[in-house]
Amino acid sequence: MSSIPLIIIGGGPAGYTAAIYAARAGLHPVLYEGPNPGGQLTITGEVENYPGYRNGVTGPAMMEDFQAQAERFGTVVKTGTVVKVDFAAYPRRLTLDSSVELLVQSVIIAAGASAKWLGLPAEKRLYGRGVSACAICDGFFFKDKTVVVVGGGDTAAEESLYLAKLCQKVHLLVRKDQMRASKIMQERVFKNANIQISFQTEVQDIIGQTQVEAIKVIHTASKKTTAIAAAGLFVAIGHQPNSLPFLPYIAVDPQGYIQTKPGTTQTNIPGVFAAGDIQDPHYRQAVTAAGTGCMAALEAERFLQQPFGSF
């Protein structure tokens, strides 16, 4: 079985940017889209903060542009999900969900991270119509409106503080009787007059047919249910990096994010690089993902130019 010079795992901004750079460098990359082609942007409505789109663009349209540009330079885009890897020997071995095995000289892991959801039927139906998991991405659309944020950690605190600058009112719903966010983040939330915190409160349902109109909640201590009139629901209960198939070979942090050497996209395995949200627990933006995709492609090119073992 002959080995492939470079396989890119994931079809989001990081993966396609890596593909563009790698293809232009003559590396003949093969990109496997994974279970969610286009990544989280395919379920994002209007994108107004990505450079170059002066009038904004929908998430799916932007990812179509990314793919077309990658294919223009010779990237081979395939459907399929990597479900297992063997990084103990070189070339590396990947196993697809179709049971096909591939030998690869270098790998760029850009499989992204998935937002954790509440599991309500209305979440999927109203995603992009008032339901979001990213205040920085979508907060602008709720300027001067009332919104609800769900969560008790640093992410929920950050989302609430960001939205409080834009929105008329922010309701922060915390499932427990206290927040688990860092002390300094809690202090900032408590001091913000535009944020109303409700402890021991859970979302029961999202009201609205085509747009979010209100959030039905239950106060677990009293068992009382109420409805909060709101135009948006921001779910901030965390993200789950899609790193499971790469364990136990790839080093990850306690949350499962792939660890890279500072200032690079290099993992602990030579010739295996990580880009995008799968190694970024902080920013999770399309533009930062694209930047690390560029870095990974350049580093993969450098790796492939040298004899294995000297990198």
Does residue 58 surpass a pLDDT of 70? yes
Does residue 29 surpass a pLDDT of 70? yes
Q: Classify 121-235 by CATH class.
A: alpha beta
Whole-number pLDDT of residue 136: 83
Does residue 131 surpass a pLDDT of 80? yes
Tokens of 75: 């990237």
pLDDT bracket for residue 105 (50, 70, 90): very high
- Which one of 137, 167, 277, 280 is the catalytic residue? 137
Alpha helices in the chain (DSSP H): 13-24, 59-72, 121-125, 135-138, 154-164, 183-191, 286-304
Q: Are 247 and 240 in contact (CB under 8 A)?
A: no
Give the Å distances, CA to CA, from 226 to 212, 220, 280.
16, 11, 37
Same fold, 4-114+239-304 and 121-235: yes
Residues comprising the chain, all counted: 311
Separation of alpha carbons 221 and 19, rounded Å: 52
Compute the average pLDDT of residues 22-33. Answer: 97
Does residue 263 surpass a pLDDT of 60? yes
Q: Is 294 a catalytic residue?
A: no
The CATH architecture that domain 4-114+239-304 belongs to is: 3-Layer(bba) Sandwich (3.50)
Compute the average pLDDT of residues 84-106. Answer: 96
Does residue 1 surpass a pLDDT of 90? no
Compute the average pLDDT of residues 69-84. Answer: 96
Does residue 234 surpass a pLDDT of 60? yes
Compute the average pLDDT of residues 244-255. Answer: 96
pLDDT bracket for residue 41 (50, 70, 90): confident
Q: Which of 9-13, 45-49, 126-130 has the lowest mean pLDDT?
A: 45-49
Compute the average pLDDT of residues 245-266. Answer: 97
Whole-number pLDDT of residue 194: 97
The predicted model scores a pTM of 0.79
Whole-number pLDDT of residue 276: 97
Q: Are 214 and 171 in contact (CB under 8 A)?
A: no
- Average pLDDT score over the chain: 94
Strands (E), 63-194: 76-78, 82-86, 92-96, 101-109, 113-115, 131-132, 146-150, 169-174
Q: Are 189 and 197 in contact (CB under 8 A)?
A: yes
Does residue 49 surpass a pLDDT of 90? no
- Give the Cβ contact number of residue 137 at 10 Å: 21
Sign for the CA dihedral angle at 174, 226, 170, 167 comes to positive
Q: Is 137 a catalytic residue?
A: yes
pLDDT bracket for residue 38 (50, 70, 90): confident
Alpha helices in 26-107 (DSSP H): 59-72
Does residue 40 surpass a pLDDT of 90? no
Does residue 205 surpass a pLDDT of 80? yes
- Which one of 86, 138, 154, 205 is the catalytic residue? 138
- Which one of 86, 97, 134, 154 is the catalytic residue? 134
Does residue 26 surpass a pLDDT of 80? yes
Whole-number pLDDT of residue 162: 93
Whole-number pLDDT of residue 110: 98
Give the pLDDT confidence of 174-204 residue by residue, as tens digits: 999 999 998 999 999 999 999 999 999 999 9
Q: Are 7 and 282 in contact (CB under 8 A)?
A: no
Q: Where are the domains positioned within the chain?
A: 4-114+239-304, 121-235
Does residue 309 surpass a pLDDT of 60? no
